[in-house]
Structure formats: structure tokens, C-alpha cells
Amino acid sequence: MLGVVEDAEDMLQDTYLKWSELNPEEITHPKAFLVKMITNLSINQLNSTRKKREDYVGLWLPEPLMKEKVVDSFKSIDLYHSLSIGMMVLLEKLTPPERAVFLLKEVFSYDYAEIADIISKSEDNCRKIFSRAKKNLGGQEKRFQLDMKVHENMLHQFLNAVNKGNMEGLIGLLREDIQLLADNGGKAFEIGGKSLIDKPVKGQNNVSEFIKDVTEKMSDSVPDLTQQIIYVNGLPSVVSCSDNKPICLMSLEIEDEKIANIYMHTNLEKFWNAKLDSLEEYLNKIQTKK
């Protein structure tokens, strides 16, 4: 709902505090009461942070959601497409009420009567809000029915092509209309004197050239460069580290066995907010398991 881990934790804490002040015996349906409370707190939070996101320098991406448990197989990840980075980015097109109604209806399967009670609007109004949300998404949400095996295979092909400098192989993995979006929070993040972009890179040739350029500069100028696969938003992603400290997180979105979008996080503050402050320890665990 919020796309920011710290905000989500705050809403959870606020809900708990409000609940602790009540007499549970006076609440007929505790689950419904709690859902109503946290949904409306989240709507209010989104409304209050909207200006901040509009003023954000460069592209804004939701914070990465990282699974703390290290797993040995892609297939053991429980994938919920509603938490994929692509879906989270897509949800940014919606207003707070549209986002709430869409998630309650599509992800949690609430009916309109229940949603109407949760957000204190009429059923007809909720139907209109849901219809508006679907229209704003333009049917794109259907893309995010993800196949873990396909994603695993594409990720390895992508890494092989990038690390071997195989431009022809890399271009062959990309959709013609691919986009690369990088979130650096307006910080002066540079690789070998090259600042990362603040607008989408579009098209096979442009994206492949950008990745090639960044990869070469990282290899030449970043000390003790290493890459690891970690699980972000339920899917394997690649984190690049310098001296075991994260500098870039890259996630792929796959559509029809082609890479449709690439998302790059280089805003280190989002790593910390997303509880990646222990990433060094996490990476050490991976090395130990290997």
C-alpha cells in the first residue's frame, strides 16, 4: 500500500497502539476492525506524503522488500505478484483511495460491501473507484503473473551476457520497448565519473549500451567489486557491492520470456530503510553457506 518500509511499520505501530486502548470484548469483528483502521491510516499517510514524492529528485521507486531468510532454491520462494517491483511501481499511478480499493478487491478478495465499510463510502462509489483504478492501470497489472523458473533462467542469461560483454546476446534478451528506471534519490552517485540517469532509458539499444557502459565503469573504478543474488520482492535480484557494502540493486521484470523492465536502486538510504542495514551480515551468511 505504502511502498516505504518505515511508513508501513509506523502504520502497524499506530494501529497496535489504537487497538491497545480499546476493550477487545466490545469489538464484534476484530479482523474487520483492524483492516479498516490500518487501511484508512495508510490512505492518510499516502495523502500526506504525496507532495514529498512529487518533489523527489529523479525517479522514485518503492523501497525493496528483502526476505531475511537465505534460501537455496528459487522455487522455494512464495511469489505474490502483487508485491513484485513492477506491480509496486504500477500502483504509483493510482490515487490513495484507488490503491486501497484495488488491493482490497484484487489481492485480498473483499467484496464491495466489505470495502464500502472499510473506507466509509457507498458500494456504488467503491465500484466506480475500482473501475477508475483498473482504467488507470490500463490492464498492465495482468503482466505480473510471474513464472519463477522463467525468471531464474532469464536472470542467469542476463548476468552471463553482461559479465561476458555479449552485446548481441544481451539485446536478444530485451523487449524492444524495454525501459530501465534508476532511483538514486538525487544523490551524486557516480561510477567512474558517470552519474546515473534521472529519467527512463528506453529501447533495446539504449538500455544495452547503458548497462554495458555502467558495467565497464564499475569494473574499472569500483574497488573490491562483487555481485550476489538476493531475494527482493519475492524474486531473485542482483546486488553489486564495493568492499561488501551495497552500491546498486538491480531487479528484472519478465514478460513473455523477455526482459520488459529493469529497476535499479542506488539510493543507499532506501537500503537502510528497507532493513538492509544488515546487508553485510546477510552477504556474509551467503558466503558461509557457499
Q: How many CB atoms lie within 10 A of CB 26?
A: 7
Answer with the residue of higher pLDDT: 205 or 266: 205
Percent of the chain at pLDDT > 90 equals 37
Q: Could you identify the residue written with the cell 495482468?
A: 142
Q: With bands split at pLDDT 50, 70 and 90, how would you rate the model's confidence at 72?
A: very low
Answer with the residue of higher pLDDT: 240 or 130: 130
Q: With bands split at pLDDT 50, 70 and 90, how would you rate the model's confidence at 24?
A: confident
Go through the domains of the chain in sequence order and give each one's CATH number.
Answer: 5-55+82-141 (1.20.140), 148-289 (3.10.450.50)
**pLDDT for the residue numbered 280:** 56
Answer with the residue of higher pLDDT: 283 or 153: 153
**pLDDT for the residue numbered 224:** 85
From 7-16, 20-29, 93-102, 229-238, the region with the lowest mean pLDDT = 229-238
Between the alpha carbon of residue 102 and those of residues 63, 82, 95, 230, 269, the distances in Å are 20, 11, 10, 29, 29
- 152-171: string of b/e by CB count within 10 Å (b at 16+)? bebbebbeebbeeeeeeebb
Closest CA to 244 of 290, 285, 283: 283
**pLDDT for the residue numbered 144:** 55
As a whole number of angstroms, the distance between CA 165 and CA 209 comes to 10
Q: What is the pLDDT of residues 84-109, one digit of tens each?
A: 788 888 888 899 999 999 999 988 88
Q: What is the pLDDT of residues 216-254, one digit of tens each?
A: 888 888 888 888 888 787 778 888 888 877 888 899 988
**pLDDT for the residue numbered 275:** 53
Whether the per-residue pLDDT at 145 is higher than 70: the answer is no
Whether the per-residue pLDDT at 265 is higher than 70: the answer is yes
Q: What is the pLDDT of residues 155-203, one digit of tens each?
A: 999 999 998 889 999 999 999 999 999 887 765 455 544 455 668 899 9
**pLDDT for the residue numbered 88:** 84
